[in-house]
Amino acid sequence: CFSCPGGVGMQGPSHGFHGPANQCRCAADPHFLLLLYHAGHHGGPGEYGRWPRVRAPGHHRVVSPVRSPKTGLALRSLALAPNLALRHAIEEYMKLRPYLERRALDQRSLEHAAQQLEEELLQKQSVHQRQFYWAENVISVLRGRLCEAEARAQELAGERAHLQARLEEAQADDEAKRCALEALRMEQPGHQGALQADADSAASSTGACGSGCVAAAAVERAAAAERHAEAASQQRDTLKQMVDHMIEEAAQLWADLQEAEAKARDADARAASAQQAAQAA
């Protein structure tokens, strides 16, 4: 070392220490001198000799305003070495910055498009739901009217059957009266019988006219009831067709609603995957 007699010393980091280490009679071994050199101390042989003997008797302590944060040794200057790794990272970032900006812009555009698609699907879904509820209400109203028409048709059918029974009863009474008059005509002899037959014939014709009028009225009422029943049947068929049509429209609306919900779920999944990809990047 520089403090020992006959020591060769060190001229730089490329030169090693010459001479065996056990010939050095001071505390400045080669490892300590190499540490001093890398810490930035490039003094003369006297300084290297004083560093290991700072606490030796008869020597003054070396005082430096700045010390190395790793070794605690005094530094010659405060000049910092260039941080090449940080500079390289900054250069790489500046090269990749346009790509990152484009990627962020694409991500924002994708999120905006997904949001717009989701809003459109939600709007269509609300429209389809309103139409579906309206169709359900209309179907319920038409079903109520159909039930009323069926009840009216049954009522008219019962009235028709009653009128038909009355007509048959009137015809039976008329036939019985005719049979009775024929029997009386056969029993009366001579002219008196003829007069009586004429009187009976007139009476029977009068009764027949009355019964015929009753029968005609019954037939007319039966025809009116039949017409009412036919009109009720037609109204029932029309209402049934309307109900079937509304049921088909409701089924179509339900299918459209299911399709809109599927598209909304697909859009949510794509937005979530895009967000995960952006977070991973």
Q: How far apart are CA 204 and CA 177, in angstroms?
A: 8
| H or E segment and range at residue 111 | helix 84-187
Q: How far apart are CA 90 and CA 161, in angstroms?
A: 102
Which one-letter DSSP state was computed for residue 29? Answer: -
pLDDT interval class at 248 (50, 70, 90): confident
The string of pLDDT tens digits covering residues 90-142 is: 888 888 889 888 988 988 898 888 888 888 888 888 888 888 888 888 888 88
Distance in angstroms between the alpha carbons of the first and the last residue of the chain:
57
Asked if pLDDT for residue 157 goes beyond 60, the answer is yes
* Count of CA atoms in the C-beta half-sphere (13 A) of 182: 6
User: Could you tell me where in the chain the CATH 1.10.287 domains are found?
Assistant: 88-276
* CATH number given to 88-276: 1.10.287
Crossing angle for the helix pair 84-187 and 190-280, nearest 10 degrees? 180
C-beta of residue 42 within 8 angstroms of C-beta of residue 79: no
The residue ranking higher by pLDDT, 62 or 35, is: 35
Locate 249 and state its tokens: 């429209």
Q: What is the predicted pLDDT for the residue at 32?
A: 55
Q: How far apart are CA 177 and CA 194, in angstroms?
A: 18
C-beta of residue 110 within 8 angstroms of C-beta of residue 281: no
C-beta of residue 261 within 8 angstroms of C-beta of residue 122: no
Q: How far apart are CA 188 and CA 181, in angstroms?
A: 11
C-beta of residue 208 within 8 angstroms of C-beta of residue 174: yes
Q: Which residues contact 5 (CB under 8 A, 6 or more apart)?
A: none
C-beta of residue 267 within 8 angstroms of C-beta of residue 121: yes
Q: How far apart are CA 55 and CA 178, in angstroms?
A: 163
The residue ranking higher by pLDDT, 2 or 118, is: 118
| Four-point Cα dihedral 114, 116, 122, 124, nearest 10 | -120
The string of pLDDT tens digits covering residues 199-243 is: 555 445 545 445 555 556 666 766 676 676 677 667 667 766 766
